[in-house]
Amino acid sequence: MKIYLNGVDLDTLKAGDKSIKYQDNYLEFIASEGVEFFSDVEIKGRGNSTWGLSKSPYQIKFKKKTDLLGLGVAKKWILLANFVDDSNLRNDVAFKLAEMLNEKYAVKGEFVRLVVDNKYEGLYYLTHKIEISKDSVDLRDPYGILMEIDGLHRDIEDCIDTSVGVCLVVKDVVTDDDETIAVATKQFLDDYNKFEKAVRARDYDTVTKLVDIHSLAEYYLISEFSVNPDAYYSSFFLYKDGEKDKIHVGPVWDFDYAFGNQKWIWSENRDFYSPYEIMVLREELMPKQGEKETGNIALEIYYLMRMPEFRDEVRKTFREKLMGRAEEFLNWVRMRKDLIRKESIIDAEKWEFGGFEEEAEYLLNWVEERFEKFEQEYGKGDFETKNGGV
């Protein structure tokens, strides 16, 4: 992917606010199928903690919906830098895991070589922006709404607090007018508050009437399998396709610190702790707000994991979708590693960070160990519930 900026240089773009949109740029996309040319392309920064790093992520927007690499049509596309992941593979691996679980609207992506104004910028991961659209989250009801739990960035987001203080952010709507957005938001918030009340009352029947419990079990498995430190607190997407629909969880997003990333030095036991349990117990990540309990959904998972019905749903999902597929998954990761090896080494040299080969092998070994752990805990009998999960 070659981008030619109009009226700005990349250093200025990276030094500015990520929300500044630069218009009328030119893009050349070179793939095995041929070359495509696009004018009038918008580019801006993206990310929170990742914006401002040496290798920055970007969002590009075309004038009309465009299909790149068979990933589906969209106007808005994301270029993830994967700067904190020396393997470049963690987001790709997480999205593959979601695909194996048959997560509805699972994100797809591909690796691209990015050049800006004839200067090599490295290996990037190209994917859709999570939004309401046919090839992302396909909602149709006029009151369909896409939300995100984002307690991690409460200070910069327009939070809508739930009854216990979870920060909900409106990400996208089917019908873009203030009155409809207000109604759709209220419908979502009312059901979410009822969900919080139901889990505290251990009322599983009501929970299942309000929430697509299978999608929540899938999210739990991916988050706990990957040991994602951002799980339950940020980049937690939910959607509801109108008043009569349930709340659904997904698509999963943001895994650059997950899968035992060696740059994520949280504790000596960072490889195999339970993300939701840590979110419940770490006071610095669940500030008290008056009578409110927490800023994330981890406490709801904590209660659900003490209900045998939800534990059975998690176990059933693992057994039906992932049990016995470790070698298949590992072979796929090896294939992706081989695909990006040459470019990842060049990328690492440019940005002067750790070795690709070592981190990719470490990731493979880590995933293999994690699969063994889950096969033992979820594949045989009931799993350990002393702390709520693996």
Residue 314 identity:
V
Domain boundary among the residues 103, 128, 153 is at 128
Write out the two tokens for 287.
């500030």
pLDDT per residue, tens digit, the chain (390 aa), is 999 999 999 999 999 999 999 999 999 999 988 999 999 999 999 987 788 889 999 999 999 999 999 999 999 999 999 999 999 999 999 999 999 999 999 999 999 999 999 999 999 999 999 999 999 999 999 999 999 998 877 877 789 999 988 999 999 999 999 999 999 999 999 999 999 999 999 999 999 999 999 999 999 999 999 999 888 888 999 999 999 999 999 999 999 999 989 877 544 555 556 777 766 655 444 444 444 445 678 889 889 999 999 999 999 999 999 999 999 999 999 999 999 999 999 999 999 877 899 999 999 999 999 999 999 988 875 545 444 444
| 344 shares its domain with 315 | no
Closest Cα partner for 239 from 131, 100, 368?
131
| 195 shares its domain with 81 | no
Q: What domain range includes position 165?
A: 144-321
Q: Which ranges of the chain would DSSP assign to H, the alpha helix? A: 10-15, 90-100, 178-200, 204-210, 213-226, 275-281, 298-304, 308-321, 326-351, 356-378
Domain total in the chain: 3
**pTM of the predicted model as reported, rounded to 2 decimal places:** 0.91
> Is 133 part of a structural domain of the chain?
no
- Strand 22-31 to 2-4 pairing: antiparallel
| 170 shares its domain with 268 | yes
Dump the DSSP string for 329-373: HHHHHHHHHHHHHHHHHHHHHHHT---HHHHHHHHHHHHHHHHHH
